[in-house]
Structures are given as structure tokens and as C-alpha cells.
Amino acid sequence: MDELQCPACGERDGLLGHRRGDLIDVTCEACGQQWVRDPNAIPDCDRCGGADMEGAVKAIVEKSRGSQLSIVATQVVYLCRSCDERVLASYRVGRSPLMPDQLPTE
């Protein structure tokens, strides 16, 4: 899944959010675009367009000492039951957080 980005300019870092009930009003600092985001909405698959998604926990890791990696946080990601069938099957067995696609090198 892609992280949150501005629909107008693609900015990912300079986004400000303010909670309004169950929704979040988001403003892009780069271009001024404003939109409403529902953090509870389950997205469609960005590869096949399907809506059959399943939530999984993904680890956010950092190097702590030398080459040792530590999980510093987790986030919920949604995986497609068709496109990510093998990843989901493995996840369901142990329910351990999924590792990031790229590990930190420094």
C-alpha cells in the first residue's frame, strides 16, 4: 500500500491533519490542496482494483546497535486476498508483524 500523499502534487512529507470526528481534514503544505480522509476506510487494491482486502500488521524497524534491527512501531496495512495470497497465508499462521520491503542500511 502507498503511504498518504497529496492527490494534487504528490507531496508525502508536508501534510497537516486535523481530526474532525471520525474524519481527518488534510492540507498539503506544498500546494495548499485540502481534502478529507477517512482513516477507517479500507482501500481497494492498487494492483487489481479489487475490494477483497485484509488487514495485517507491518513492522517499522530501525537499526539499534551495529547491525541489530529493532521494531520501533507497527502500522496496519491492507493486503489483497488475490494479489497477496502467499503473504497473507504466511501471516495468518504466526500473526507476527510483516517486515518492511526495505530494511534500513544505516
What are 19-63's pLDDT values in tens digits? Answer: 999 999 999 999 999 999 988 888 899 999 999 999 999 998 988
pLDDT of res. 3: 67
Q: Is 80 exposed, middle or buried (0-12, 13-18, 19+ CB in 10 A)?
A: buried
Report the predicted TM-score, pTM, of the whole model to 2 decimal places: 0.64
At residue 2, does pLDDT exceed 60?
Answer: no
Q: 53: Cβ–Cβ under 8 A, 6 or more apart, which residues? A: 42, 43, 44, 45, 78, 79, 80, 81
Beta bridge partners of 77: 56
Q: How many CA atoms lie within 13 A of 38 on its CB side?
A: 4
The stretch 98-103 carries a mean pLDDT of 87
Domain boundaries, the chain: 1-41, 53-94
